[in-house]
Structure 1
Amino acid sequence: MDHDPDWQRLVSRLKAAKTVKVVQYEVGDPITKDDREILKVMEAVPPPPPVMRLLEKANGLKLLWNGSPGGHAVQGSINILPLVQSALRAGATEESAPLEGVLWNDEYAPAIKKQLQEMAIFEALAGRSAHLTYRVGDKDARLFLVDDDRIEALVPDFVTVIGLIERFGGADGLREHLVHADWKDRLAKDETLQAIAAL
């Protein structure tokens, strides 16, 4: 992975800011042999190489913070799922199909439902029914913002997205900027995000 995120450095930076309060921070240990064995036993498809490389160093991450950097009220969160949870793609109940009732349901249009059935969750966005997902088997791990039955591809590649999530602490609104071709301009013009980056 070209960008190796330092989650502890991000949390230290947020904690050092007088205008920010870190509410929760949990980072998982690296992937274990047991994690890999569970995938084999359950016949789950492992995540794509970029996701695996990220999880090999930190198997899941939860960060929740709020504050007013630069005088702008904002909150941020990062909720990257651990390997086993992402790869097993569990439904809402034991009898559910993969991610049924979590990412899709039978009320969705057939074309949308089919797309969502081919995905796994990378990140669950706090306080919303939205997720960052990837297609199972996509070696590049192109990420999608899924909000109910709306699916939007993120423009930057996986490594760039991770770098931006780290830089801006997973701030609210960040991922929505990344579905636009002019995402760099949008980030540069977002005063709140720039205040977070300057912490």
Structure 2
Amino acid sequence: MTSGAGNVGAVAIQHIGVSVPDLAKAREFYIDLLGAVEVGTPLQWRANPFIDAIVGLKDSAARQFMCRLGNAFIEVFEYSSPQPAPQDPDQGVNRYGYTHFAVQVEDVQACYERLLAAGIRVHAPPSLPGITVDADGTKHGYAATYCRDFFGNVFEIMEIYDHEQIHPVWRAGEGVITPD
């Protein structure tokens, strides 16, 4: 991918960051439940001028870990300073700003059932009629639903085959794929 005239030369989304009130509970969600793999050495800091300048906070203190899920990374923070305001666990996805991230799964129905069993709140059962199967067994379309982690952060689970707007980033037998 090359940069064109006028753009800044961005080539990919490298990671998303999520702030949580309990890092151990977040590990339980991202690592144990979703199946992400922790990478690197977890960080922690207190009143580090370099980090304060990057994150735009004064006298910040936090603990962090980074994990990989397929071709993407998730950076998870627990800030102790400045004290974060509590998040409304029912905040609407219609608010401005980042609203959710999506996770591609092999079997959306099985994932949905496992999340429910783990106590994860799911907005609705997955949209299974969105997946059709040809006579030769080839699947098309996608099925999805929104869920909330232990802290109210919204994420989407998706089983994807082909669609004009939504493309899979993983395929059985192939692993991680790069969209055209």
* Same fold, judged at TM 0.5 (above): no
Higher relative contact order, chain-length normalized (CA < 8 Å, sep 6+): 1
Structure 1 length normalisation: TM-score?
A: 0.24
Structure 2 length normalisation: TM-score?
A: 0.25
Larger radius of gyration: 2
Structure with bigger strand share is: 2
